[in-house]
Amino acid sequence: MSFRRSRYFLGEAFRGLIRNRLMSFASVLTVASCILIVSVFYALVANIDFFLQQLEGGISITVIIYNDVDAAGVINLGEQIRTIEYVSDVHYVSHQQAFEIAMEAFEDPEIFYGILPENFPRSFNIEIVDIQYHDTVLAALSSLSNMGIERVMHAQNVVRMVTTVSNMVRWISGSLIFVLAGVSIIIITNTIRITVSARQVEINIMKYVGATDWFIRWPFLIEGILIGVIGSLLPVIIVWSGYAQVIRIVQEGMPLVEFIEFRPGHEIFIILFPFVIFLGALIGIIGSGASIRRHLHV
């Protein structure tokens, strides 16, 4: 498409928007409402996901080693653990290190009076690639139980809960975005259909004069894209400007929440911004394309 032709189509699209300003405004508001819900929900999901990631990061498996296992046995056990699939990192904790960790945790050295570092068991802290492989790694560890493992400490219930909630949130957010996009397309289709119907005579005249389908279609498609993009820009701006304030209000109003880290705004909007602009444009193009199709058969 040449520059001159693009300029013509763009001009026609803007003229169409202005001429049918009431319907255009209604369409923009409709798209904006749907995209606003999508944006708010996305910000929420991004934070829940962020929280779950932090939680996942904190969940590791600890293998306690029998006191009578010699140094070679410990090294051998460590090597065996490293060969287990989905294990991303294995960290050895000596008697001394375990003692220091306990000292740090309690802050009051008095309560450790008379307790020697040797009283704290040696262990391996195991990080796994993804929380979903938690049970697989546990099963593999059970096969190494005769290599000096006293017991395996883990938080299987927490892991299961985190995985379930995480999957649920992702599934709900996906479905919600899908449903809202569908609703927007239906509404925008009907809105543009009214506009197109009102311009049926105009379309017929264009066809009689020899206009191609695309010559007629382009201004309507651009009109739809403009409605979609303007309708998606508004909620992004609203969510963008409100996000930091909402976090501040939540943290001030609920002191316990202070310990929870929120996902930084730029991390959310670097994904949300192009996504909703694309979604808005897609909604607009599908909506206008669908509504003009049957009016072109003249």
Partner 1 sequence: MIKLTDVTKVYENGARGIDNVSLSIEPGEFVFIVGTSGSGKSTMVRLLLKELEPTSGKIVVNGAELSKLTRKQMPDYRRKMGVVFQDFKLLRNKTVYDNVAFAMQIVRASNREIRRTVPQVLAMVGLAKKARAYPNQLSGGEQQRTALARAIVNQPPLLLCDEPTGNLDPETAWEIMHLLENININGTTVVVATHAKDIVDGMRKRVIGLSNGIIAKDIEKGSYDDVYLGV
Tell me: does residue 113 bind partner 1 (CB under 8 A). Answer: no
User: Is residue 211 at the binding interface for partner 1, with CB under 8 A as the rule?
Assistant: yes
Nearer to partner 1, 219 or 228 (CB): 219
Nearer to partner 1, 138 or 194 (CB): 194
Check residue 202 for interaction with partner 1 (CB under 8 A). yes
Q: Please list every residue from 29 through 48 that binds partner 1, using CB under 8 A.
A: none
Residue type, 267: E
Single residue of 22, 70, 113, 210 touching partner 1 by CB under 8 A = 210
Among 80, 163, 204, 251, binds partner 1 (CB under 8 A): 204
Task: Kindly state whether residue 201 participates in binding partner 1, applying the rule CB under 8 A.
Answer: yes
Numbers of helices and strands, H then E, in the chain: 9, 4
Q: Give the nearest distance from C-beta 210 to partner 1 in angstroms.
A: 4
- Are the C-beta atoms of 227 and 17 separated by less than 8 Å? yes
Examine residue 212 and tell whether it contacts partner 1 (CB under 8 A).
yes
Q: Is residue 116 a contact point for partner 1 (CB under 8 A)?
A: no
Q: Which of 1, 68, 114, 208 binds partner 1 (CB under 8 A)?
A: 208
- The closest of 165, 200, 154, 226 to 9, measured between CA atoms, is 226
Strands 123-128 and 61-65: antiparallel
The answer to the question of residue 194 lying near partner 1 (CB under 8 A) is no
CB of 198 to partner 1, least distance (A): 11
Closest CA to 128 of 77, 86, 81: 86
If one asks whether residue 207 binds partner 1 (CB under 8 A), the answer comes out as: yes
Compare residues 21 and 91 and give the one whose CB is closer to partner 1.
21
* Pairing between β-strand 149-153 and β-strand 123-128 as defined by DSSP bridges: unpaired
Write the CA distances from 290 to 182, 221, 242, integer angstroms.
Answer: 13, 10, 35
Q: Which is nearer to partner 1, 7 or 248 (CB)?
A: 7
298: Cβ contacts below 8 Å, ≥ 6 apart: 203, 204, 207, 208
Residue of 48, 206, 238, 277 that binds partner 1 (CB under 8 A): 206
> Distance (Å, rounded) from C-alpha 59 to C-alpha 129?
11
Question: What is the distance between the alpha carbons of residues 33 and 234, in angstroms, rounded to a whole number?
Answer: 9
Binding residues vs partner 1 (CB under 8 A):
4-5, 8, 15, 19, 201-202, 204-213, 215, 298
